[in-house]
Amino acid sequence: MFKYVNSVLLESGCLTNYLLRQKVFKSSSAAQKPKVCVVGSGPAGFYVSQQLIKAYPKIEVDLFERLPVPFGLVRFGVAPDHPEVKNVINTFTKTAKSGRLRFVGNVNLGTDIILSELREAYHAVVLTYGAEQDREFGIPGEELPDVLSARRFVGWYNGLPVDSNLKVNLDIETAVVFGNGNVAIDVARILLTPVDALKNTDITEHSLAVLSQSRLKKVIMVGRRGPLNVAFTIKEIREMLKLPQCKTVMDPASFEGIREVIEGLPRPRRRLMELITQAALNPPPESWANATRVFEPLFFRSPIEFLKSLRSNRLSGVNIVVNELSGDRAVPTGVVESLECGLALRSIGYKGIKAGKDIPFDDEKGTVLNKNGQAEGLKGVYCCGWVATGPSGVILTTMNNSFEVGHAIAQHMETGLVDISVNKPGYEAISHILGDKGIQTVSFSDWEKIDEEEKRRGKEIGKPREKIVSVEEMLSIAAR
C-alpha cells in the first residue's frame, strides 16, 4: 500500500509534500518558533523582514530571491549616477547579517518552489517579488527592434542578466521616450549625459561602450497629458535642466494659462510647476548657448504607430496624435503629427506577474489581490511592495508599506490569526525540495564573494564595481 502511495505521489510530484506533512505531524509537540518566508529581495523584502525581526525576537525569516544577487531594483533599477540612493543597501546588509535572516538566492517562485510548498513549510509567506513586466501600447510597429521598453534599457545599463545582450542602436540622432515619470527622466538623462560623467559609476562596461559611440543629439520625452500632470519629481527635472552640454526645450503653447493654476497648488507641486514653467517660458540661461544636445519634453501627445524605414527593419519615426484634456483624461483630437527617430523607449508603467496559479491575482493591475497586504482568500499569505501596491512611489513609499505589513503579520501571530502553535519545518523542508531539483542556492556570504569580485573588477577600471551579468558566472563565484 505504502509503495502504491509513493508511486502515485511521485508521479504527481507531491512526495516531498507528503513526507513534509508526516514530519510536521510528528514534531508538533516541539517548542515553537514562528517561521516566515519572504519571496523577493528588493526593498519590500528587506524592509518587511526587518520589521518582523524587530517585532518578534524569536522569529526565523527566510528570504528567497530568484537571482543569485540581492536588492532588486536598488541594484537593477536605480540609476548608476545616483549612488547615494543605493545607501539603503547598508541597512539591508545589516538585516541580512543579523543572524535572524537567511538569504536564499537563485530560487524562483513558480518554478523552483511553489506557493503551496511554502505555505506548508512556514507559518506565514510574504510575497514581495515586485513588478517586472512592462505595459505596452498595443499599436502597429511596436514589435520593431528599435522600440524597447525603458525597463529593459535600464536593465541593460544596470547589468540585469536577462537584458545584458539587449541591442541598443545609438547610431542615430533622435530618441523618443514615452512617459512622464522618473524612469522616463532616468533613461533620458543616461542617454544625454556626457559619457565621461558616467564612466566612474557602476554602469556596465557593455553599455558604456555603446554610449561612448552614441551620435544622439536629441531626446524627446512625450507625455499624453500636460505639464500639470507630470509624474516626475523636482530633483529629477532640476538635474535635467542643469545637465552639462544639454539644453531643455519646451513648447510654450503647452503652458498656456498654467501660471494662474499653479497659485492654488499644494507647495511641493507648486514648486515643481514653477520650475518647469520658468524653464519653458523664461529666456534660456547663457550656459545653454553652447549645448550640443537637446532634451525636449513634449506634452499632450500619444503614439499611434511606429514607422519602419523603407530600406531596413529599423525604426524611422513615430506618428503621434495630439490630445486634449477632458478632466484628467487625455482625449485624442485626431490631429496627427510625425516625429523622426531611430530609437523609442516605452516607460508607461510596470506590472507584476502571477508567479503560480494558486496566487490570487488582478491581471489588469498586475498585483496580488489583497486587503492591507493580506492576500485574498489565503490565510497566512501576505504581500507588500510593488507586487501588492502596483509600481508607483519611491523606496520610501515601499518602506512604509512594508513596515505596515510586517507589523500586521507580527500582530496576527500574537493574536492567533496566524497559527504558530503548530510546528513548521521551515527551510529544512524547502532545502530538500531544492536539493531534489539540483538547485544551487546562494547564501548571503556567497553573495559577498560576488560583491567582492565585482568591486575588485571595478577598482581596476576606476569604478565602484563592475557588475557580473552572467548568472552562471555568479554561481561559479558563489561556489568558490
The residue among 22 and 372 lying less far from ligand FAD, judged by its C-beta, is: 372
Q: Which stretch binds ligand FAD (CB under 6 A): 217-225, 260-268, 387-395, 407-415?
A: 387-395
Asked if residue 158 lies in contact with residue 203, where contact means CB atoms within 8 angstroms, the answer is yes
Size of the site for ligand FAD (CB under 6 A): 34
- What are the helix (H) ranges across 144-255? 150-158, 182-192, 205-212, 234-241
Instruction: Give the end-to-end CA distance of the chain in Å, rounded to a whole number.
Output: 45
User: Is residue 41 near ligand FAD by the rule CB under 6 A?
Assistant: yes
Which of 451, 476, 431, 366 has the alpha carbon at shortest distance from 118? 431
The residue among 332 and 393 lying less far from ligand FAD, judged by its C-beta, is: 393
Binding mask 165-194 for ligand FAD (x = CB under 6 A): ------------------x--x--------
Binding mask 398-437 for ligand FAD (x = CB under 6 A): x---------------------------------------
Q: How far is CA 188 from CA 118, 129, 177, in A?
A: 41, 27, 7
Q: What CA–CA distance (Å, rounded) separates 184 from 153?
A: 11
Task: Classify strands 35-39 and 124-127 as parallel, antiparallel or unpaired.
Answer: parallel
The residue among 262 and 405 lying less far from ligand FAD, judged by its C-beta, is: 405
Q: What CA–CA distance (Å, rounded) separates 172 from 342?
A: 6
Burial class (CB in 10 A: 0-12, 13-18, 19+), 158: buried
The residue among 118 and 208 lying less far from ligand FAD, judged by its C-beta, is: 118
The residue among 50 and 423 lying less far from ligand FAD, judged by its C-beta, is: 50
Q: How many CA atoms lie within 13 A of 26 on its CB side?
A: 7
User: Is residue 255 near ligand FAD by the rule CB under 6 A?
Assistant: no
User: Is residue 78 near ligand FAD by the rule CB under 6 A?
Assistant: yes
The residue among 78 and 410 lying less far from ligand FAD, judged by its C-beta, is: 78
User: Is residue 117 near ligand FAD by the rule CB under 6 A?
Assistant: no
Q: Which three cell numbers stand for residue 89?
A: 543597501
Least separation in angstroms between residue 83's CB and ligand FAD is 10
Residues that bind ligand FAD (CB under 6 A): 39-45, 64-67, 72-73, 77-78, 82, 85, 108-110, 128-130, 132, 154, 183, 186, 355, 385-386, 393-395, 398
